[in-house]
Chain A
Amino acid sequence: MNKDIYYTDSATVFLIFCTMIWAIIGMSAGAYLASELVMPWLNFDIAEITFGRLRPFHTNAVIFGFGGSALIATAFYSVQRTCHVRLFSPKLAWVVAIGWQIGVAVGVASLLMGYTSTKEYAEFEWPVDVAVAIVWVSFGIVFFGTLATRKIRPIYVSNWFYGALIIVIAMLHIVNNLAIPYSWTQAYPVYEGAQDAIVQWWYGHNAVGFFLTAGFLGMFYYTLPKQAGRPVWSYRLSVIAFWAFVYTYIWVGPHHLHYTSIPDWLMTVALVMSIILILPSWATMLNAVMTMSGAWDKLRTDPGMKFVVVSMIFYALSTFEGPMLAIKSVNVISHYTDWTVGHVHSGALGWNAFVTFGTIYFLVPKLVGATGLYSKRLANIHFWLALMGVLVYIVALWASGVAQGIMNLAIDDYGQLSYSFVDIMLTTIPYHWMRLAGGLMFLSGALLMTYNLYRTYAMSKHNLPVLVKIPKVHPGNEI
């Protein structure tokens, strides 16, 4: 059999399986963390599951385990379809798929054991960092190799976003983690003091910008037009927004360091660039909205599309809230409060998780050769659970964040702080219960989804992988 006339999707199937496993692990850890905040005895005095260790476990498991697997899976899937060619090296793709799982699993396990470099979202110690870098570069080789061997002349916009994800994350990961090892588990960072902080948040915000946004926009630009059965409304706008996005994002890191000992002009540049960032973000949103118009009936017939539509609302919301939080006089209230955590999850749950769910609901029946999902009803229940969950989550944290923000700063007539730390903690308890409820709803939705996907797979009569023939390139578009 001539393999070259078929796409290769086995690594994608494996990665989607891992995505769902990481969703369950990471979100359960999130729910456990949320429970610890209201029932501190839940750590049972076991060091491995204290809040301080479980928190980075949660963030790394959801961002790199769940988000990362979903991004690599969809990149492998869509780059073939948009280039009309088989993956550059299916074997290397498998190495990436498995290597990524091992890297993240070892990394998060070592965090529980207490090995951490303490840089947020870059907590893994140097041996894991090196392994992750190797896997990531291999991902780049597979992706760009496929692009280079493409049969179709234009490079579709989703590939621009995935490409930016790969290049920028490689750069950020390597530069931010530069360190001089002095043992197998420990290393000295090459930066110190304020410089360390600046580099860290240059990494930190671009992890948000390129991992949690550019990559997911790539996913989105592939899935939405497919689901809607219509081309992107304005292709030109999508490419302009891409370059504006790449250029602007890279500057905004220092808005995480307002009122610290970094230079003042850096904070100002970050503030201004953060506000400008609304433009490319909202241009993308507008493009999405217009792409969807016309596909009116799809919302009723395609459960995945609901998720994608709602993800755009939360994308718009969090990219509006973010610039607002970057304004210094808002940040002085919001920093050190739940408001930030609420912002994080309106992006992470409402945007990243929703677009991933929508895409996976769309891809899995195709990948396992089923005619459709096992149950649309379950998918609809998942949709409502997730939507209610994220709304409850962020409303609770807005309220709690505002209360904390005011209490952190309130002074009496003598200029003394009006509230003690314990006062503030006590105030937040009801909101943290509410957040736990929202989180549990979100988690149970993800469990339903996993069951639904499993049944979809079990229902299909096909042997995996399903072979899909590469179609002929439209005349005039050949390379």
Chain B
Amino acid sequence: MIQKSIKYLADSQYSPAQLFFGFSFWLILIPPVSAFFGMHYHGWSLGIGDPILLSLTESIAIAIFYFLALIAGFFITALTIKWMSTVYAPKATLKDAFAVVTVVTTPIMLGGIAHLYPSILFHVIVLSPIFALSGYLIFASIPVLLKTDYDRGIFMGCSLFGFISTAGISLLGISAIAWVHGIGPNLGV
């Protein structure tokens, strides 16, 4: 089924703008909006003790920043795919790159609903299979959408996987810096 949908997307007519505003944009809204409700009404639970509730302004600010970061991440990833494709998939266009990001990020953005219940353990349990699915989608979508052969697709998939996980880690680092500078939990530093 997944293979079929990817093929269907590859054969359809659309412009990057249509794809983005008709589809991805709305999906990208899911995580920040859920995060806002989760942070403000439930609070982050670390596993023990009361959840850490954030004030209204702080929750809104974090949600907006999160939204902007996701949008930026989306575009940067698309451009990176286009850049990488010069080596791995010479026939790919920017539009195809957008299609790949859309396919790969769809489960993750839908999984963003998990932010409604912000518990670290819950996130690990729910998001791990979702990330595994996205990992699979990287390898399944690249050969079809970027019009390259299977073997090159695997190589490109590895590179993209490395890029995305590095971006993920830097998000962790940026969050840590934010916490230390007074955004989020009340830390004695």
Q: A410 and B155 in contact (CB under 8 A), knowing A313-B161, A329-B181?
A: no
Is A430 close to B, CB under 8 A?
Answer: yes
A94 to B41, CA, bound (A): 68
- Chain B residues, CB < 8 A from A419: 48-49
- Chain B residues, CB < 8 A from A426: 47-48
Is A461 close to B, CB under 8 A?
Answer: no
The answer to whether B124 touches A431 (Cβ under 8 A) is yes
A to B CB contacts below 8 Å, 21 in the list: A299-B154, A299-B155, A309-B155, A313-B161, A317-B162, A329-B177, A332-B189, A333-B180, A392-B128, A403-B46, A403-B47, A406-B187, A407-B46, A410-B187, A411-B187, A412-B186, A419-B48, A419-B49, A423-B49, A428-B47, A431-B121
Main secondary structure on chain B at its contact with chain A?
helix
Chain B proximity mask over A420-432: 1 for CB below 8 Å, otherwise 0: 0001001110110
Q: Give min CB distance, A125 to chain B, whole Å.
A: 38
Is B170 close to A, CB under 8 A?
Answer: yes
Can you list the 4 inter-chain pairs with the closest CB atoms, starting with the nearest? A427-B47, A296-B151, A411-B188, A329-B180
- Chain B residues, CB < 8 A from A417: 188
Of residues 93 to 132 in B, which have CB atoms within 8 Å of A's CB atoms?
120-121, 123-124, 128
A419 to B155, CA, bound (A): 46
Is B169 close to A, CB under 8 A?
Answer: yes
Q: Give min CB distance, B182 to chain A, whole Å.
A: 11
Q: A398 and B151 in contact (CB under 8 A), knowing A415-B188, A419-B48?
A: no
Q: A296 and B152 in contact (CB under 8 A), knowing A409-B189, A412-B186?
A: yes
Is A477 close to B, CB under 8 A?
Answer: no
- Chain B residues, CB < 8 A from A413: 186
Is A396 close to B, CB under 8 A?
Answer: yes
Chain A proximity mask over B77-99: 1 for CB below 8 Å, otherwise 0: 00000000001100000000000
The answer to whether B48 touches A427 (Cβ under 8 A) is yes
A423 to B149, CA, bound (A): 52
Q: Contacts A418-B49, A427-B48 given; 5 further ones with Cβ under 8 A?
A: A293-B88, A297-B151, A333-B180, A405-B176, A407-B46
Is A464 close to B, CB under 8 A?
Answer: no
The answer to whether A406 touches B151 (Cβ under 8 A) is no
Chain A proximity mask over B149-172: 1 for CB below 8 Å, otherwise 0: 101101100110110011001101
Pick the residue among B149, B161, B173, B185 that contacts A330 (CB under 8 A): B173
Name which residue of chain A comes closest to B87, CB basis.
Answer: A293
- Chain B residues, CB < 8 A from A320: 166, 169-170
Is A146 close to B, CB under 8 A?
Answer: no
The answer to whether A399 touches B170 (Cβ under 8 A) is no
A324 to B176, CA, bound (A): 10
Is B136 close to A, CB under 8 A?
Answer: no
A430 to B49, CA, bound (A): 16
Q: Give min CB distance, B79 to chain A, whole Å.
A: 18
- Chain B residues, CB < 8 A from A299: 151, 154-155
How many residue pairs between the two chains, A and B, have CB atoms under 8 Å in the bound complex?
Answer: 104
A321 to B169, CA, bound (A): 7
- Chain A residues, CB < 8 A from B187: 406, 409-411
Of residues 134 to 149 in B, which have CB atoms within 8 Å of A's CB atoms?
149
A329 to B161, CA, bound (A): 27
Is A459 close to B, CB under 8 A?
Answer: no
- Chain A residues, CB < 8 A from B52: 410
- Chain A residues, CB < 8 A from B151: 296-297, 299-300
The answer to whether B121 touches A430 (Cβ under 8 A) is yes
The answer to whether A423 touches B170 (Cβ under 8 A) is no
- Chain A residues, CB < 8 A from B25: none
Chain A proximity mask over B35-46: 1 for CB below 8 Å, otherwise 0: 000000000001
The answer to whether A427 touches B176 (Cβ under 8 A) is no
Of residues 147 to 182 in A, which have CB atoms within 8 Å of B's CB atoms?
none
Q: Give min CB distance, B91 to chain A, whole Å.
A: 15
A413 to B120, CA, bound (A): 23
A405 to B172, CA, bound (A): 12
- Chain A residues, CB < 8 A from B149: 296
- Chain B residues, CB < 8 A from A310: 158
Q: A434 and B124 in contact (CB under 8 A), knowing A313-B162, A327-B177?
A: yes
Is B23 close to A, CB under 8 A?
Answer: no
Chain B CB within 10 A, most for which of A296, A398, A411: A296
A380 to B177, CA, bound (A): 40
The answer to whether A329 touches B176 (Cβ under 8 A) is yes
- Chain B residues, CB < 8 A from A274: none
- Chain A residues, CB < 8 A from B185: 406, 410
